[in-house]
Every structure is written in C-alpha cells, then in structure tokens.
C-alpha cells in the first residue's frame, strides 16, 4: 500500500512528483488498470474466489454470510485505503494491511480471508491478471497502427522514392514499400505479444514454497482437492491452467518473457520514427503538424518532428526494461527473495504504460502522415542518372560490349559527375557526359527512355499489394481487431 497523503489535507498534486507517463503520455484506460484501486480490488476478487472455492470443496467454516459480505465490498474505497494505510504503517506488510481492511467491511469473513494462502496468492495472481489485460489493450492499439500504415502503404505503393543503404542513396523503392516494412515489424510485435498472452498461465493457490502444504492441511490430506481448487480458480479468472511448478512466486522468467515481447515494440517504434525524422529532414514526408503548433521557441519557422521524437524517446526507455527483468529473475535465490518486490512495482506498470504511450504516439503519427511527391521526385531526379548505370551496363553487354570495360567507363564518368555535384554544387550531369562519350553511342538513343523512375522500383507495388492488400497476411492478422479498428478514433496527444 502506497503512503498516500489523505485528500483532506488539501495538498496540491503540483507539490509532489508525478510520473509523466500518467500525466502526459498514456491512456486513462492503462493508467486505471495499474491504479491502486484496480490492483487492490483485484486482490479482493481473488480472496472471494478462494473462499468460494474452498467452501465448495468442503471447508464449512466459510459461511454464506461471509461470502455475501465479501461480494458486497469488492471495490476498495478511499476509506478502506486509509484503514490499510494506517495498518501497514504499524505492520509493515501491505497484504496483511488489506486483509485487515477487507475484514473491517466484511466482519463475518474476517477470520477466513486469505485462508491457507500466502501473500503471493494475491500479489502474483494479480500481476498475471493485469499483465493479460494490459497485453489485450496493447494488441488492439498495435493493430490500429498496423491498419493505418497498411492503408498508407497501399495508397503510396507506386510512388518512386530513393532507398537508402548506409544512409546513402540506393536502388529505388516506393513510399509504400518502405511503409510496408514498418508494417512487417509491427506484425511481428503483434504476433509476439499475442503468443505470450495466449500462453500466459496462472499461479493459483500454491502455498508458501509451491508445495501446497497448507492446502493439503485444510483439505485433510485430500490432495485431489488441491488440484480442484486451482481448476476452479483458473476457471473463475479465465486462465487455461496454472504453471506446473511454483516456488513462493510464479517464476520471474515469465516477467522476462512478457517484457521481451512488449519491449520489442520499442525497437520497432524507434525504427519507424527514426525513419520519419530523416524523411522530415529531407522534406519528403512530415508527421502531423497542427495549425497553432509551435516548433521552436526561438526559430518560428521550424516544424520539428516532436511526435516522432517523443515516441523515439519513450521507446528507448521501454527497450531497457528486459535487462531489469532479467536481473530480477536471476537474483531470485532459491525459492524467493523479496528484492523482486519494489522493482516490480515500478517495472511492470512502467513497461505497459510506456508501450501504451508509444502506441498512442504511433497511431497519431501514422494516421496523419503527409507526403510531398514533388520533393520526392526532385530528389529522385538528382540521383536517377546514377540509378540507371547498371541498366546501361546490361544494355551495352546485350550489344556485345565487355561487361568489365563498360563498368570501368561508367565508373569514371560517374565519379566525374559526382565531383561536379559535391565540389561545384551543380546538377548531376552524368547523362550529358554519357551522351558526349563515343563509347556509349550504341545506347544513346535509349537514354531518355531510361530516365523514368518507375522503371527502377522493381516489384515494390506488387509486394505491397500482396502483403497489405485484401486477403493478404495483414488483413488476416487484423481480422480479430476489425470491430475495434472501425470503432475507434485516431489517438490524440494530451500535450
């Protein structure tokens, strides 16, 4: 239980630190999911389910009145939090503080709440429930971004643009083809998170060291009831089964597996927004820019890529999370040490809040990208003479010219033309040099026809259509999210 100052003191929220994730970047839904009320109310639901299941399996000290009182107080109120706060201050144990607070409002159940359980019954099972719900939220938002970028890729599938390898101009692709690569990375993220979510299991009721000894005791040696108890708990909370082996906790390897899948979204987000930042520098594509938006406090003309920079920054932090979860897992001595507790209170919510904020940013950006075809065409035209050199070599070879001789001749002229561009600041004159060189006379008549950008984009358009188009892998992957995508509006930035 956090040491929260009562609202009655009138202390302003501006007088204490608040995380930027909840105040600036993430959605109300994700913030609420990891709130104190959500977490501790889930504890109460777990305690109720445990008691109901134990009663069903023959523990007759659990009365109907106790269950009714528990059912009537599943949401932790502000008054309950205050009772728990005072209790934890003296007990130094958050779970027992909330057992006491729950018993105070459900007195008939006070003696049976948490029966035979250990603290991790509520803490660990709650983490698994919240993680599952958080992954559901993230998957929907990733699907929305995929839908945005897939539509963008299809719209611009035939628009030639410079490709860049080593960040140097390379063989042409299309605007849509580059976006399709972004889509592919997001598709891999979606699949990874879906798979982890589908394979997630419950801790269940395992006792203090995973032997279920306390439950064997209350069931008077009938171990089959231990299995039945966990079956009931899994059914009540929608999990397929419990992890086969448990210590005091579910293995912290599970947290690492979740983190690896969720943090993968961070690397994709940096890749996409890094590309967009470069494209904005070249004035080929821009992220959304509002009419009243200010790019710089000093340079009024600027249109800075602040949305992409924000996502890029948040992604950097998200990508750091798996290392922390790996360290926590590796440091769990024997059956459990409590040095996993404080850091997981920070890492688990932050991981999902970061992913949520990144999805919001990507949705906002990808649904409002602006393309400048004229700028793209001018940049293509400046490099196109170099792009056709391989085709020139092939056509000369077809006319009986040595491939090596042709390569050397074109290499020399290309370097001369490059020097004119870089040293004199003049336009690329490679084509003029070729037309003035007798060696290339066999293909002079074909040169002008070769200077068409669309001839050098390969199968870009077809690749995009096949992947992002109707009936393709993208549409199949998005089918489970179709209603959500149709019904949701584009995410807006809080600030």
The encoded tokens of residue 377 equal 């065409």
With beta carbons less than 8 A apart as the criterion, state whether 246 and 335 touch: no
Residue 167's CB: how many other CB atoms inside 10 A?
7
Angle at 313 between CA 260 and CA 278, to 5 degrees: 110
What DSSP assignment string belongs to 297-350? Answer: SS-TT----HHHHHHHHHHHHHHHHHHHHHHHHHT--TT--GGGHHHHHHHHHH
Angle at 441 between CA 435 and CA 447, to 5 degrees: 55
With beta carbons less than 8 A apart as the criterion, state whether 202 and 233 touch: yes
Could you give the CA distance from residue 275 to residue 90 in angstroms, rounded to a whole number?
Answer: 54
Residue 405 is among the residues annotated as catalytic for this protein? no
Which string of b and e fits 445-469 if b means at least 16 CB within 10 Å? eebeebeebeebbeebbebbbebbb
Catalytic pick among 296, 330, 378, 402: 296
Residue 296 is among the residues annotated as catalytic for this protein? yes
With beta carbons less than 8 A apart as the criterion, state whether 453 and 377 touch: yes
Q: Please tell me whether residue 267 adopts helix, strand or coil conformation.
A: helix
**Torsion on CA atoms 264, 267, 271, 277, rounded to nearest 10:** 130
> What count of residues does the chain have?
495
The encoded tokens of residue 163 equal 């490709």
The encoded tokens of residue 188 equal 């891999």
Identify the DSSP state of 202.
Answer: B
Could you give the CA distance from residue 123 to residue 76 in angstroms, rounded to a whole number?
Answer: 15
Catalytic pick among 16, 166, 292, 297: 166
With beta carbons less than 8 A apart as the criterion, state whether 109 and 67 touch: yes
Could you give the CA distance from residue 243 to residue 239 in angstroms, rounded to a whole number?
Answer: 10
**Active-site residues: which are they?**
166, 296
């Amino acid at each position: 239980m956090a040491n929260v100052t009562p609202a009655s003191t009138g202390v302003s929220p501006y007088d204490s630190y608040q995380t930027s994730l909840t105040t600036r970047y993430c959605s109300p839904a994700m913030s609420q999911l990891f709130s104190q009320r959500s977490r501790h109310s889930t504890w109460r639901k777990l305690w109720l389910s445990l008691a109901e299941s134990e009663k069903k399996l023959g523990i007759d000290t659990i009365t109907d009145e106790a269950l009714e009182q528990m059912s009537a107080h599943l949401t932790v109120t502000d008054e309950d939090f205050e009772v728990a706060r005072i209790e934890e201050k003296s007990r130094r144990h958050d779970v027992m503080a909330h057992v006491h607070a729950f018993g105070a409002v459900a007195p008939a159940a006070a003696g049976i709440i948490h029966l035979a359980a250990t603290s991790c019954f509520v803490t660990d099972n709650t983490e698994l429930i919240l993680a599952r719900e958080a992954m559901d939220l993230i998957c929907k938002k990733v699907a929305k971004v995929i839908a945005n970028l897939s539509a963008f890729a299809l719209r611009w599938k035939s628009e030639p643009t410079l490709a860049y390898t080593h960040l140097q101009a390379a063989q042409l692709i299309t605007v849509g083809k580059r976006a399709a690569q972004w889509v592919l990375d997001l598709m891999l993220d979606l699949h990874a998170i879906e798979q982890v979510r589908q394979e997630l299991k419950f801790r269940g009721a395992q006792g203090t060291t995973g032997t279920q000894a306390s439950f064997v005791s209350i069931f008077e040696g009938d171990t089959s009831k231990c299995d039945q108890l966990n079956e009931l708990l899994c059914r009540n909370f929608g999990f397929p089964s419990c992890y086969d082996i448990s210590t005091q906790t579910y293995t912290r390897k599970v947290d690492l597996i979740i983190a690896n899948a969720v943090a993968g979204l961070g690397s994709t987000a940096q890749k996409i927004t890094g590309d967009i930042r470069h494209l904005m520098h070249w004035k080929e594509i821009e992220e959304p820019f509002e009419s009243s938006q200010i790019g710089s406090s000093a340079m009024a003309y600027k249109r800075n890529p602040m949305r992409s920079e924000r996502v890029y920054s948040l992604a950097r932090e998200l990508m750091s999370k798996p290392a922390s979860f790996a360290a926590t897992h590796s440091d769990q001595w024997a059956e459990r040490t409590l040095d996993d507790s404080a850091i997981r209170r920070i890492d688990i919510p932050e991981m999902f809040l970061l992913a949520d904020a990144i999805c919001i940013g990507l949705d906002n950006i990808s649904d409002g990208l602006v393309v400048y075809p004229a700028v793209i065409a001018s940049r293509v035209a400046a490099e196109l003479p170099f792009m056709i050199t391989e085709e020139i070599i092939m056509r000369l070879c077809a006319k009986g010219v040595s491939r090596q001789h042709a390569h050397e001749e074109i290499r020399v002229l290309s370097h001369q033309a490059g020097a004119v561009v870089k040293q004199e600041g003049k336009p690329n004159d490679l084509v003029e040099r070729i037309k003035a060189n007798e060696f290339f006379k066999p293909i002079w008549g074909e040169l002008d026809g070769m200077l068409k950008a669309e001839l050098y984009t390969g199968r870009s358009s077809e690749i995009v259509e096949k992947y992002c188009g109707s009936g393709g892998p993208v549409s199949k992957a998005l089918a489970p999210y179709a209603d959500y995508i149709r019904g949701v509006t584009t995410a807006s930035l809080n600030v």
